[in-house]
Structure 1
Amino acid sequence: MQLNQRNNILGALTAATCTLLGAPAVSQEAQSVEEPWKFDTAILYYGESERVTAVEGVFSATKDFGNEHIFNGKVTIDGLTGASATGAVPQPTAQTFTRPSGKDEYDIAATEIPLDDTFRDTRVQLNGQWTQPAWQDYRVSGGLHVSKEYDYLSMAVNGALAKDFNQRNTTVSLGLSYAFDSIDPEGGRPVAFASMPLKRDFASEQQYQDAFDATRLTGSDDKNTLDLLLGVTQVINRRTIMQLNYGVSAVDGYLTDPFKMLSVVNTQGLTQALVYENRPDNRTRHNVFWQTKYAMDSGVADISYRFTTDDWDIDSHTLDSRLRYNLSPNTYIQPHFRYYQQSAADFYQPYLMASDGLPQFASADYRVGEMTAFTLGVKYGVLLDQGKELAFRLEYYQQDPKNPGFDAPGVLQDLDLYPSVKAVMAQVSYRF
């Protein structure tokens, strides 16, 4: 679970194309029947050990107006609090940091990973999607997305076209989406590699404020994302269905995290300065996704694999598996296992050496570094009358950053530069 990927429009595009790809064949009589509204609700809790906590509520409504004219609308509200890693390295002595707003400071104890404990955000997201037949054996889908946070606005449109072959046993789909995001972080956008000022280094409050303002760019910035997704779904037999997708994403604009920094250390590993990170202003990603579902007499097996590569040199592999086992006609249990592996971006550096000078791009954010992660959990569901369903999900998540090949200087050899992130996820969902 990557909490920073909160505006991933590829997810909305995938949902649109999967809706088209997974739409079942219906009879002519059933097509003309207007179905009642169907609602899905869920509350999710995500809590990292001594770090970020998130609570999310989701309300989704779907209605078939007849003839496969289907509308889906979704509202998502989430709140995030807690401590977020800054990217700075720990030190054998206490450290002082300036908060992103520039109005306050905070201290980090000796040997502790620097975390900014004022991480607060609330997001409201609205999604709408419409799907309908276009002409014989074709279906179209289009949608809108709006997401607003304190310092972030995201707006997107998406569309998809699907065609059925072979008596609707084969479906090919093409999806396209465009997103526009506006970023206006608290305190302003940091100047790339500008040194973080500390109040203790200035004779007056005004001198400090002038120095802080010099490290900031005024106004907001934006980024544009274009996603293309091509998919094919094949019914293998009466029990097995398989899906294969290829996606490409091109992002252009402000991709730097304004709240991340790097430590500049000497040959003894002692911090000489703290500078703000800088990332490239464009990124192109390719991904291939494969999924197979197999219906057993006692449940459903679901396994998928995703490979992603980009021009930041980040390659990732994701293996996801679920096994739904029916305990009774009205109850089921579904174990879940997910494994993730990622290589580091070519500009990832856990710290900068004072003797080397500044590079063009650098980030110490562990989320663009080398890592492995796994999720292990279980879901329990109860099928109620009239198609209603109540389900509970509990999962454990662990992310293990890795050293991609840096030799730690001096005191950094005795400090944990790549601590694991552990989290618990709990969800309650109700369909009616």
Structure 2
Amino acid sequence: MSNLDGKSKTMNKKNHLKAALSLATSALLGTSVATAPVVQAKEVDEWQFDSAFLLYSEADRVTAGEGILAGTKTFDDGEILALKITVDALTGASANGAVAQPQAQTFTRPSGNGQYEIAAGETPLDDTFHDTRVQLNAQWTQLIADNLTGSVGGHFSKEYDYLSLGVNGNVAYDFNNKNSTFSMGLSYFQDTFTPEGGIPKPLSSMLVGDSSSPEWDKEFAKTRLGTSEDKTTADVLVGFTQVINRRMITAFNYSYSMVDGYLTDPFKVASVLNNQGIAQDYIYENRPDSRVKQSTFMQAKYHFDDSLLNTVADVSYRYMWDDWGINSHTIDSRFTIPIGRVSYIEPHIRFYQQSAADFYKPYIMDDEVPTGFISTDYRIGEMTAVTVGAKYGVVLNGGNELSFRLEYYRQMPTNAGFVDPDGLNSIDVYPVVEAIIAQVSYSF
């Protein structure tokens, strides 16, 4: 639940607005209650704007910059219009899935135009990774009947090689003297992927050699299936929000997601190793063409009394499982601590742990026949991750708010029971990923 900001005036909003806020924390644009944006209204017919710039930087890997501008307007009859535009740019080096080797390695770029070399002992990273994304979201919320609020929205996102379109609808019902809210949301997305170089043929070998050869284009085309692929995503989310007392509010969610279509990453390959751990080949990964994900989510916010400086504690837990064999646990906690009358600090700690997909392998041995589903992508492997940081905010003249956030992220892939060949003893097969996250936000 995102509609408790630790201030007593939150509980005194208009009755129908509480249901609207519940909608914003449920299935808005396919996001979970843990990540949905907050809908905060000023006076009727006034716009509330929230802006932010975020910088995400991994050590020696990807760097991303993101700008966000969101506007919310409440009309005379309580209708709420929410608009949001997001622009982000990514650049740097991305892991291609191959395992590090005791000698240098050469790979062909996804486009088929040119090659790149990775030094001995280094994790193979494609340093041509770059993209720009523009995303537009719109949401309309209004009272349908006594204690019943409805919301509809749309989503548009465009990258260089990716197009995503989505719609959603949500309802929220208040009861128990408006201390309880039941909500339900549905969303549907249609995505089209057109990667440069086309769609690789699953399990085919990466073509490596002289790209200036007259036969190169013809041979490269044999490793492609086509130029584009599609996928669809349908999400259902059911939520329940309960006000316990004037200091505490809780939320419980269950979500069900069905994804069908092209789910393979066309930029990932798997190393084929001999018994000494030396790469003999690189083949393109292959993932199932469907995925069903389910999750449960629980959250509680508590506003402590004056003896604890009016601190607001926000603690949540999420459990996710799917038919790929992945399950994950996420514990997220924030503590908003006032500093004087106009500023606050918000320490943040997040812990994440997941198991590996059934078809995940860090590499393939050459005595195995590469059939079925295979992926070496560490993002679907076994891992733990920790985020630690803090946010500082200050309320300016006129009620506007300025805040700064700085966090450290550490992702630690682990061995899910694989016995590495002797040739990899000196190689870091599961490298740690570290990142710094910095954000500046301004609400007016």
**Unmatched tracts of structure 2, length 5 or more:** 1-25
Deviation at 1:173, TM superposition (A): 0.2
Aligned with 2:301: secondary structure?
strand
What's the counterpart of residue 338 of structure 1? 350
**Of residues 238, 242, 255 in structure 1, which corresponds to 2:250?**
242
Query: 8 Å contact 1:17–1:173 — kept in the other structure?
Result: no
Aligned AA for 2:381?
G
Q: CA deviation at 1:132?
A: 0.4
Give the residue type in structure 1 aligned to 2:140: W
Give the match for residue 163 of structure 2: 153
Contact 1:17 1:175 in 2 (8 A): no
What is the rounded CA distance, in whole Å, between the counterparts of 2:437 and 2:39 in structure 1?
30
The 8 Å contact of residues 28 and 185 in structure 2, kept in 1 or not, is answered as no
In structure 2, the residue matched to 1:116 is 126
Partner amino acid, structure 1, of 2:114:
D
The offset of 1:410, in angstroms, is 2.6
Correspondence for 1:292: 300
Q: Kindly, what percent of the aligned residue pairs are identical?
A: 54
Shift of 1:208: 1.8
Shift in alpha-carbon separation, 1:38–1:23, aligned structure 2, 3 A: closer
CA distance in 2, matches of 1:281, 1:249: 14
Given that 2:27 and 2:184 are in contact with CA atoms closer than 8 Å, whether structure 1 keeps it comes out as no
Which residue of structure 2 lines up, in the alignment, with residue 199 of structure 1?
A: 209
CA contact (8 A) 1:140 1:162 kept: yes
Which of 295, 306, 316 is matched with 1:304 structurally? Answer: 316
Q: CA deviation at 1:302?
A: 0.3
1:412 deviation in Å?
1.3
1:126 Cα offset (Å): 0.1
Return the alpha-carbon distance in structure 2 between the equivalents of residues 116 and 13 of structure 1: 31
Distance 1:406 1:348 in 2: 11
Q: Does 1:12 align with 2:29?
A: yes
CA distance in 1 between counterparts of 2:39 and 2:48 reads 16
State whether structure 2 residue 215 is matched by structure 1 residue 215.
no
Q: Deviations over 1:97-141 (max 9, x none)?
A: 000010110000001110000000000000000110001110001
1:408 aligns with 2:420: yes
1:280 maps to 288
- Cross-structure match for 1:164: 174
Instruction: Name the CA shift for 1:254/1:235 in 2 (closer, same or farther; >3 Å).
Output: same
Root mean square deviation of aligned Cα: 2.0
Matched, 1:39 2:49: yes
Of the structure 1 ranges 182-191 and 406-415, higher mean CA displacement relative to structure 2 is found in 406-415
Provide, for residues 146-196 of structure 1, a one-character-per-residue CA deviation record: whole Å limited to 9, x for no partner: 000000000000010110001110000000000000000000010001101
Question: Superposed, which structure 2 residues align to 1:68-79 within 5 Å?
Answer: 68-79=78-89
Spell out, residue by residue over 1:281-323, the C-alpha distance to the aligned partner (whole angstroms, 9 max, x if none): 0000000000000012323110000000000000000000000
2: CA distance, partners of 1:17 / 1:396: 19
Q: How does 1:76-115 map to 2 (within 5 A)?
A: 76-115=86-125
Provide closer, same or farther for how the CA distance between residues 74 and 232 of structure 1 changes in structure 2, counting only shifts above 3 A: same
Task: Please give the alpha-carbon distance, in whole angstroms, between the structure 2 residues aligned to 1:72 and 1:154.
Answer: 19
User: Could you tell me which amino acid in structure 2 is paired with residue 132 of structure 1?
Assistant: Q
The CA deviation at 1:15 is 6.6
Residue among 48, 68, 73 paired with 2:58: 48
Tell me the CA shift for residue 11 of structure 1: 6.3
Moved more, 215-224 or 341-350: 215-224
Contact 2:29 2:167 in 1 (8 A): no
Match of 2:368 in 1: 356
The one-letter code of the counterpart of 1:430 is: Y
**Paired letter, 2:65:** V
Q: Is structure 2 residue 409 aligned with structure 1 residue 397?
A: yes
Q: How far apart, CA to CA, are the structure 1 residues paired with 2:274 and 2:235?
A: 43
Counterpart amino acid of residue 245 in structure 1: N
**Counterpart Cα distance in 2 of 1:11 and 1:418:** 36
Q: CA deviation at 1:347?
A: 0.3
Deviations 1:329-371 (A, max 9, x none): 1010000000000000000000011101112000000000000
Matches within 5 A, 1:246-265: 246-265=254-273
Alpha-carbon separation, structure 2, partners of 1:315 and 1:126: 31
- Any conservation in 2 of the 1:13–1:159 contact (CA below 8 Å)? no
User: Deviation of residue 219 (structure 1)?
Assistant: 2.6
**Where in structure 2 are the equivalents of 1:182-197 lying within 5 Å?**
182-197=192-207
CA contact (8 A) 1:16 1:159 kept: no
Q: Deviations over 1:212-238 (max 9, x none)?
A: 111012231100000000000000001
2:197–2:227 CA contact under 8 A, matched in 1: no
Task: Decide which moves more: 421-430 or 207-216.
Answer: 207-216
Give the drift of 1:414.
2.1
Conserved 8 A contact 2:55-2:439: yes
Distance in 1 between residues matched to 2:295 and 2:226, nearest whole Å = 36
Mapped partners of 1:390, 1:299: distance in 2: 19
Shift in Å at residue 86 of structure 1?
0.6
1:140 and 2:144 aligned:
no
Instruction: Give the structure 2 partner of residue 5 of structure 1.
Output: none
Whole-Å Cα distance in 1 between the matches of residues 122 and 73 of structure 2? 52
How many residues align? The count is: 415
Alpha carbons of structure 1 residues 260 and 206: separation in structure 2 relative to 1, 3 Å: same
Find the counterpart in structure 2 of residue 4 from structure 1: none
Distance 1:18 1:134, change over 3 A: farther
Aligned to 2:374, the other structure's residue is in SS state coil
Tell me the alpha carbon deviations over residues 401-431 of structure 1, each in whole angstroms, 9 at most, x when there is no partner: 0000100113112210000000000000000
1:128 aligns to what SS in structure 2? strand
Residues 33, 253 of structure 2: 8 Å contact kept: no
